[in-house]
Structure 1
Amino acid sequence: MTTASIVLDRCAELDRFTATPPSLERVYLSPEHASANAVTARWLAEAGLEPWQDAAGNQWGRREGPSSERPALVLGSHLDTVPDAGSFDGMLGVTMAIAVAERLRDTALPFALEVVGFSDEEGTRFGKALLGSQAVAGTWEPEWWDLRDRDGVTLHQAFRDFGLDPRRVGEAARRRGSMLGYLEAHIEQGPWLEAEDRSLGYVTSIAGARRFRISVVGEARHAGGTPYSRRRDALVGAAEAITLIERRARATGDRGCIATVGRIEAQPGAINVIPGRTDFSLDLRASTDAERDDMWAVLRLEMEELCARRGLRLEVRETHHAPAVECAAWLQEAVQAGIRSTGDDDPVGLWSPAGHDAMAIGLTTDVGMLFLRCHDGISHHPEEDVRALDVAAGLDALTAAVLEVAARYADGRTS
């Protein structure tokens, strides 16, 4: 039986494929991506699956069902990383999925079993997340071909350099009905399981995110010669807006809306010039679209009011809009059954503030997710860490969840 130590050793082996040693960075359509796919293909074959790479660069493996007409239950996560990444975000879900396939290789299932390592969940290289899983969902947009990385290489050229044919990306899309469902194991990327001393949890929904580029426009003037009564300081206005954003989001509680300003730039950027324009980002998330959108309506109105008071102008451009995704009730129940099989009789449900490939795949099939406790909730950082005992419990739970799906499929209880 494949053990937690083997799963963790495979995560460590994937760490070798990095563009920036000793730190970990593995981006879409890079040599490191190709190496990660190759070693994953080897593990898939060892698990009794037939490996292949699809037209968008995702790595797959498949064990056929009783007949080729049966749909596939898909297990997986992603193989790409953010810059200076940890070892487990995404990769743990892929190596766990392979381990479950190995455990079940001699168990008859009423459907096909597939494992996928998605190729670009993070969006690090081209600034567009979920490229691999969106190709599978059939939601690829032609304008993405013009996206460029920091070296000016277009996505179209990167496909060609990787050995993929951009004209064939549509072949990665899965026919509706070809997937029975999608189950993803993932580190929590939050502190709640650790706070409750739980190894595992099930996911109820994945946050719907909206991202904005917000500009506060004032007037650039001499810092020494302009009295306060004449100032239209865009940076001070932006600072007040950012404080407002945090105050409103905090008021919803630790498990309410999440609003983050991660980037700010003042122009012209001289020490002795009042900033005439300040641009900042806003990432807004909540467990439901309605909650998120209500928060945005409040924030925009109050930012417009504060800008008017200061003689400033507010400009807003939305750069990203992803709807929240509900995990299917029957797959939530299957994951809960899996967790109960480990001795946890009262599984905890959590909504995921972080995005996942399940968001894209949820447009074409039902999705469910299993969360594993991670140390201090740290993620997207080299100190990202999991315990072997939690991985062992996760393997048992995910295996049991697949068997529960099999029982439900046989009884017609997959809706």
Structure 2
Amino acid sequence: MTQGSGEKILQRADKMAQFSAMEEGLTRAYLTKEHKQAHQQLSDWMINAGLEVWQDSVGNQWGRKTSANPTQSTIIIGSHSDTVVNAGKYDGNLGILLGLEALEQLSGVDLPFHVDLVAFADEEGVRFNTTLIGSSAVAGCFQPAWLDIKDDQNTAMGEAMLSFGLSPELAGKDARVAEEVKAYLEVHIEQGPVLEELNLPVGVVTGIAGAKRYYFSVKGMAGHAGTVPHALRMDALCGVAEMISAVETYGLEHNVVATVGKCDVKPSAVNVIPGEVTFSLDTRSAVQGDLEVACSELHFQLEQIAQRRQLKLSSEMTYQASAVPCHPQLQQQWGMVVKQQTGKEACLLPSGAGHDAMVMANITDIGMLFVRCEKGISHNPREQVNEQDVSVALNCLVDMVQLLATSDLTEA
């Protein structure tokens, strides 16, 4: 590894953070001025690293280390350059910059395949509330109906593409096909506290959790807080409180995480018994079967609570994504390079958050490496990584690309 590579990557992350719609913070959304500026900077760095560069049909930025004799299909390394509102510097962006530095260090190494680095233009979905636009286009999953979705300023995605210099009618038409992609690699901050708790710089991802989200409506009877005895009440909020406790207990006892993150109480007056409550439920598991069972059993438990309390319960599923396993051989190979770089057996852990890799799994095998982040904090300006950990992750990625040059992936 070149001396100071970790420091160089962090300095570039600082530079990328300057392309922001916030003066005192970081927000970079899809098809904005900041998107264009950030990808121009990435393009400049890619050119300086000796890569062939291009922008695709939805505004993803690409750089290619070209093989003189590409006898095998292409390796793609990627992550996303967009951010949430008031974000940290490293979610998504660190993976791109690690890939860039890895290819710069491999510039003199002949590989039997092309290596493509991609900065996906939209993973977070901040502007149009439709996530994973960039990787969906690459993986052949772009939905033309998305072009009609409007942002808060009433600008449709298709109109924004035109203003950005893209042709919306071509969106997703340049998708990659499975036959030409050998594997997809993504390095990402953990966004959780496991690696810090274990005092490890990196960890190997086993898979990306599937998720289902619901909105529940619980209806009871509003009434005077001073005159209706407890035994005769149909208090929607008390019912929901019991439901939330049941959700937490289920998550603790089963292979899922279940979260109630939003709750709206009506009529929301200090002296009125709550008559109606709506609340969200986010359920996730890396094992799809466990997720399906959890959702079914939780629905049953919540319905039982509602019936016992004489409340009316209804639900609507608002989002679902299937669990996506990482390829076993890629997990094993990541583990080999991690042990080589750290002297310790690799920690294997699932990702509870979604990533571009879950979409890229539609066309190729995926493998992910997590990098420790301070206190597991992410989607927050306090997001922080350690320079030494970044250097370890870089070495692992360089070694991984070279290892793939000497191996063929078997069927999962």
TM-score > 0.5 by shorter chain: yes
What is the CA deviation profile of residues 153-202 of structure 1, one whole-angstrom value per residue up to 9, with x for unaligned ones?
Answer: 33233223322222111224112212111111111111121122111111
Q: Which residue number in structure 1 is paired with residue 385 of structure 2?
A: 386
Distance 1:192 1:319 in 2: 29
The answer to whether the 8 A contact 2:71-2:112 is kept is: no
Find out whether 1:369 has 2:365 as its counterpart: no
Indicate the residue corresponding to 2:194 in structure 1: 192
> For 2:375 and 2:193, how far apart are their aligned partners in 1?
6
* Aligned residue number for residue 316 of structure 1: 315
The aligned counterpart of 1:81 is 83
Contact (CA 8 Å) 2:224, 2:271: kept in 1 or not?
Answer: yes
Give structure 1 stretches of 5+ with no counterpart.
none
Give the alignment's TM-score, normalised by structure 2: 0.94
Residue 110 (structure 1) aligns with: 112
1:270, distance to aligned residue in structure 2 (A): 3.8
- Please give the per-residue CA displacement for 1:210-245, whole angstroms capped at 9, x wherever unaligned: 111121122344445544444333222222211211
**Equivalent position of 1:129 in the other structure:** 131
Larger mean CA deviation between 337-346 and 86-95 belongs to 337-346
Partners of 1:371 and 1:152 in 2: CA distance = 37
The aligned counterpart of 1:352 is 351
Helix, strand or coil at the partner of 1:209: strand
In structure 1, what residue type is equivalent to 2:406? A
Q: CA deviation at 1:63?
A: 2.2
How many equivalent residue pairs?
A: 410
Please give the alpha-carbon distance, in whole angstroms, between the structure 1 residues aligned to 2:295 and 2:366: 27
1:20 counterpart residue number: 22
Which deviates further from its counterpart, 113-122 or 59-68? 59-68
- State the distance in 2 between where 1:15 and 1:197 align: 27
Cα 1:269–1:172 shift into 2, 3 Å: farther
Flag the 1:153–1:226 CA change in 2: closer, same or farther, 3 A.
Answer: farther
CA distance in 2, matches of 1:158, 1:275: 43
Structure 1's 144 and 221: CA in aligned 2 closer, same or farther, altered over 3 A? farther
SS of the residue 1:204 aligns to: strand
> Is the contact between residue 85 and residue 380 of structure 1 (CA under 8 Å) also seen in structure 2?
yes
User: CA 1:144–1:224 in structure 2 vs 1: closer, same or farther (change >3 Å)?
Assistant: farther
- Given that 1:408 and 1:414 are in contact with CA atoms closer than 8 Å, whether structure 2 keeps it comes out as no
Match of 2:93 in 1: 91
Residue identity over aligned pairs, in percent, reads 40
Greater Cα shift, 330-339 or 319-328: 330-339
Contact 2:54 2:61 survives alignment (8 Å): yes
Indicate the residue corresponding to 2:402 in structure 1.
403
Equivalent residue, structure 2, for 1:292 = 291
Change (3 A) 1:98 1:249: same
The separation in 1 between residues aligned to 2:222 and 2:401, in whole angstroms, is 62
Alpha-carbon contact 1:338-1:399 (below 8 Å) kept: no
* Letter matched to residue 168 of structure 2: P
Query: What residue in structure 2 maps to residue 341 of structure 1?
Result: 340
Cα distance between partner residues in 1 of 2:194 and 2:250: 22
Work out whether residues 78 and 357 of structure 1, in 8 Å CA contact, stay in contact via their aligned partners in 2.
Answer: yes
**2:184–2:367: 8 Å Cα contact kept in structure 1?**
yes
- One-letter amino acid of the structure 2 residue matched with residue 123 of structure 1: G
Out of 224-233 and 107-116, give the one that drifted further.
224-233
- Matches of 2:392 and 2:172 in 1, distance apart? 38
Equivalent-residue separation in structure 2 for 1:148 and 1:231 (angstroms) = 44
1:190–1:376 CA contact under 8 A, matched in 2: yes
- Give CA-to-partner distance per residue, 1:19-58, whole Å, 9 cap, x none: 1221111111111111111111111111111111111111
Q: What is the aligned partner in structure 2 of residue 330 from structure 1?
A: 329
Alpha-carbon deviation of 1:413? 5.7
Shift of 1:295: 1.4
On the 8 A contact 1:79/1:91 being kept in 2, the answer is yes
* CA distance in 1 between partners of 2:224 and 2:54 (Å): 62
Match of 1:180 in 2: 182
The answer to whether structure 1 residue 243 and structure 2 residue 245 are counterparts is yes
* Match in the other structure for 1:212: 214
Structure 2 SS opposite 1:177: helix
CA distance in 1, matches of 2:115, 2:197: 34
Deviation readout 1:49-92 (Å, 9 max, x if unpaired): 11111111111111222356742101111111111211111111
In the alignment, residue 240 of structure 1 is paired with which amino acid?
E
Is the Cα–Cα contact under 8 Å of residues 286 and 325 in structure 2 kept in the other structure?
no
Equivalent runs, 1:160-171 vs 2, <5 Å: 160-171=162-173
What is the RMSD computed on CA atoms of the aligned residues? 1.9
TM-score (norm 1): 0.93
Distance change (3 Å), C-alpha of 1:270 and 1:147 = farther
SS state at 1:76 partner: strand
Q: Is the 8 A contact 1:337 1:400 kept in 2?
A: no
